Amino acid sequence: MAADAKPMQSDLGLYDYLPWNERPKIVWPGNKKIAVWIAPNIEFYEYDPPNNPTRTPWARPNPDVLQYSHRDYGNRVGWQRMMAAMDRAGFRGSVSLNVALCDHHPEIIRACADRGWEFFSHGIYNTRYVYNMTIEQEREIIRDAFDTVRKHTGQELAGWLSPALSNNFWTMDILSEAGIQYTCDMFHDDQPMPVKVKSGRLISMPYSLEMNDVIVYNTQKVTPRHYGEIIKRQFDQLYKEGAESGTVMCIPLHPYLVGQPHRIDAFAEAIEYIAGHDGVWQTTGREIAEAYHASGAYDAFNAAMAAHKAEGGSR
Amino acid sequence: MPLPDNYLEYPHRRYGMDHDRYDWSDMFQRKPIAWPNGARIALSLVTHVQYFPLDMPSKPFKAPGALSMPYPDFRYYTNRDYGNRVGVFRVLRLLAEKGLKTSFAINGIIAKRYPALLRAVVEGGHEIVAHGLDMGKVHHSGLSEEEENAIVVEALRLLREESGQAVTGWLSPGRAQSFNTPDILARNGVAYGLDWANDDLPYEMRTGAGPLVAMPLAYETDDRVVADEYFQSEPQWVQQVRDRFDVLYRESAEGGGRVMSLPLHSWVSGMPYRIEYLREVLDYILSHDGVWNAPAGEICAAFRASN
């Protein structure tokens, strides 16, 4: 085992269990019922990436030109269709960014920045994983991400989605230590909540596997029109529940998938449907994190959790 | 073992692509393409005609549609061969009814095994595209350049000799390539390839023997992908192909000519219960003004002329 390794645990204890019916009410700005944010994963997959012992980037030997070119479609064609659909519905994006894309395709970065989109980090490349890294190596990835995004956009990173969803048991601690405010790597809830880290006030931001087009299209093999349907149903339910306490809905996207001609219209129609509701806060990950803290929700959650434990609740 | 520190080094982190095959370009910022007679859509049908050998190797990977049962796998060997015996003729008949001249991507070995099939395709007025040698011969970086070149040479020779056509289009089995494939293809007189899935329009690749045009081939609305990888129904395939066409047609009003590519397989769309869904798709597309149907090679030539 490497110096930083330790035996596997059944649970890393990163978040508390506070039953849905005992939670303090979350109030979004303007008393909106639901915060809806869209997270386009603007990614760069390498043609000839090095191997990681835990995960091989491509199923076929390098170069896997079919899969590589399929991803590249997003940066040549798909991103424009996705962006146009979001513009029409009045959504800004929170870009889940492989930060090397700033170097490869500054034109895409500029188009996003011009629209006031947020950039958060999705690692350097989607073909480089943090598996088997030392803590120091992973800290270097975080530094690189902060520096690259600052240099190209002037933005200070607030959010993080680990590259290709690869993580280590210490990842949340070192993200928070570096100043990251929200993580998108955990899919356990429809509301933001504190993540228990060694320092800082990191929160978990509802992202979603099930609304994520890469899961929908590549894993679940859903049709484009059905994707439009499930987005609307997910929204309808969270909108209704948001009348009691603010909810969050995220739509994670990949322009190489949603930006295909046979898919874009069903998606566009779904987000226009969402935007047509009065109680919707069309926002970004960064703004949700800020509102969560500013409204006192972070402290209220911790206080309610302490009370729940004092009454004998588990954990 | 911790990762070596060079895992955090990125030698190709630079402007543009991380290789030299082609330049990055934003499809929506390119000079609009003008198709012949002011057409808005170039309709490119590419029917795969494939031979899956009973002893096909599984290393380093199998092409999609490969045999998957223990040897001798009669089940899939014969199911795929159905396309060569029956399915392809059903597709040919439908194309003839519609008066369409299209491309057929054919494994080279078919020219030797089933010369009558090749003749029927040629007599139908279609273009022969080389689809490698057979579905067991995937191209990958484990092959030496000489080994891979020999496969390309043999596939092209068989198809050129039997068809009498120049055969300047290429589709690799499983759309798989090595680092050398585009160079080898260009060196052997191939003008365009259909493997890369990164664009809705043709674009030029660099090779050691001059440019090679990458022609679009819509991976995700391929009949085999939708049926065998997504497990979606034929009506769902029809819907997606129509939706794809609608968006491309709409974009062509302002953005210049588009290519509507439709990959088909003789052993998929050539099934009795599927052929009328293909008719439905063709009827829908052909009901629009400004649709120009042509073999991929002619569309490639028109792209070059327009560029």
Instruction: List pLDDT tens digits, range A140-185.
Output: 999 999 999 999 999 999 999 999 999 999 999 999 999 999 999 9
- Residue B128: give its domain's CATH number: 3.20.20.370
Task: State yes or no: pLDDT of A4 exceeds 80.
Answer: no
Q: Does residue B107 belong to any structural domain of this protein?
A: yes
Nearest chain A residue to B248 by CA distance is: A261
Q: Do A80 and B26 touch (CB under 8 A)?
A: yes
Chain centre to alpha carbon of residue B185: 15
Q: Do A260 and B24 touch (CB under 8 A)?
A: no
In this prediction, residue A5 has a pLDDT band, given cuts at 50, 70 and 90, of low
A110 touches chain B (CB under 8 A): no
Q: Hey, which bits of B69-183 come out as E strands?
A: 103-106, 127-130, 169-170
Task: State yes or no: pLDDT of A75 exceeds 50.
Answer: yes
Classify the C-alpha dihedral A111-A117-A119-A124 as positive or negative: negative
Task: State yes or no: pLDDT of A315 exceeds 60.
Answer: no
User: By residue range, what is the domain housing residue B57?
Assistant: 42-180+219-306
Nearest chain A residue to B26 by CA distance is: A76
Name which of A262, A264, A269 to mutate to probe chain B: the one with the most chain B Cβ atoms within 10 A of its Cβ.
A262
B183 touches chain A (CB under 8 A): no
Instruction: List pLDDT tens digits, range A16-47.
Output: 999 999 999 999 999 999 999 999 999 999 99
Mean pLDDT of chain B: 97
Sequence-distant (≥ 6) Cβ neighbours of residue B30 within 8 angstroms: B201, B256
Q: Does residue B63 belong to any structural domain of this protein?
A: yes
Q: What is the mean pLDDT of residues B71-86?
A: 98
Residue A312 confidence (pLDDT): 83
Q: Does residue B93 belong to any structural domain of this protein?
A: yes
Q: Does residue B301 belong to any structural domain of this protein?
A: yes
A130 touches chain B (CB under 8 A): no
- Give the span between the Cα atoms of A229 and B37, in whole angstroms: 40
Helix axis angle, A135-153 to A171-178, nearest 10°: 40
In this prediction, residue A313 has a pLDDT band, given cuts at 50, 70 and 90, of confident
Nearest to B175 among A66, A137, A221 (CB): A66
Q: How far is B124 from chain A (nearest CA, A)?
A: 30
For the CA atoms of A300, A304, A306, A311, what is the dihedral angle to 10 degrees? 170
The domain tally of chain B equals 1
Q: Does residue B115 belong to any structural domain of this protein?
A: yes
A125 touches chain B (CB under 8 A): yes
Q: Do A65 and B195 touch (CB under 8 A)?
A: yes
- For chain A, domains (ranges, CATH) are 32-285 (3.20.20.370)
Q: Do B25 and A47 touch (CB under 8 A)?
A: no
How does DSSP assign A157-221, residue by residue?
A: P-EE--GGG---TTHHHHHHHHT--EE----S-SS-EE---SSS--EEPP--STT-HHIIIIIS-
Q: Do B18 and A47 touch (CB under 8 A)?
A: yes
Sequence-distant (≥ 6) Cβ neighbours of residue A155 within 8 angstroms: A118, A119, A149
pTM: 0.97
Q: Under a CB-based contact definition with an 8 Å cutoff, are residues B288 and B41 in contact?
A: yes
In this prediction, residue B116 has a pLDDT band, given cuts at 50, 70 and 90, of very high
B11 touches chain A (CB under 8 A): no
Nearest chain A residue to B234 by CA distance is: A223
Q: How far is B216 from chain A (nearest CA, A)?
A: 11
